[in-house]
Amino acid sequence: MSEHHQDVPIAVRVRQLEERVTGAGLVTDADLDGVLSRLYADASPVNGARMVARAWADPAYRQRLLADGNAAAAEFGFGGADGLSYRLAVVANEPGLHNLIVCTLCSCYPVSLLGPSPSWYKSLAYRSRAVREPATVLSEFGLTLPEGTQIAVWDASAESRYMVLPLRPAGTGHLSEVGLAALVTRNGLIGTASV
């Protein structure tokens, strides 16, 4: 990105790009609206929650999810016939390790699995502070981690997106996958909350 565009808000830059491609006759506004409508029609944090619940209940699926997020998402039909348009990496929280997702460049985010991104995820404050002072940012979300917990910050990009596999809460052994999925929140999938 050139120095000239760094201070221009992302929404303005996106609209300028839309105007260029529509002006060149490559696409219409209706085409773009259709793509977004299809994307958001099925985009929900319930999708990511279902994957997490399966991983908690099925150790073999957990291994597949951590080894190849795209293939594991395809098992649920997420991403359509061609799969996801990015590489999905799923990072697991463990005792002593907590994962946090950010996109420092803009706001890359696995929309189909987590639903539309929250406004704070796109904010410059979150994007810069999550990397520099992740423990402080997490405490501002109300998440205080046990002393000595390492925080791994994962920076998404246009090519790679991340999703957190939270720790399974204690005392949930009796729950079905549907019951487990109901425990998982969008913020838990980003890493700004525990489950």
Structure tokens at 68: 């190849």
> Given this model, what pLDDT does residue 1 score?
39
44 tagged catalytic: no
37 tagged catalytic: no
pTM for the whole structure? 0.80
pLDDT-derived band at 46, boundaries 50, 70, 90: very high
Which residue out of 37, 44, 85, 103 is catalytically annotated? 103
CA atoms within a 13 Å half-sphere pointing along the CA-CB vector of 28: 3
* Domain(s) of CATH 3.90.330.10: residues in the chain: 43-190
Q: For residue range 136-178, list pLDDT tens digits in order.
A: 999 999 999 999 999 999 999 989 999 999 999 999 999 999 9
Reduce the DSSP state of residue 18 to 3 states and report it. Answer: helix
Architecture (CATH level 2) of domain 43-190: Alpha-Beta Complex (3.90)
Helix (H) / strand (E) element for 161: namely: strand 160-165
Q: For residue range 67-122, list pLDDT tens digits in order.
A: 999 999 999 988 755 667 899 999 999 999 999 999 998 888 898 899 888 989 99
Structure tokens at 30: 């209706």
**For residue 44, what are the contacts with CB-CB under 8 A and spacing of at least 6?**
115
> Given this model, what pLDDT does residue 2 score?
41
106 tagged catalytic: yes
CA dist 67 to 60, 85, 111, Å? 11, 17, 20
Which residue out of 107, 117, 157, 160 is catalytically annotated? 107
117 tagged catalytic: no
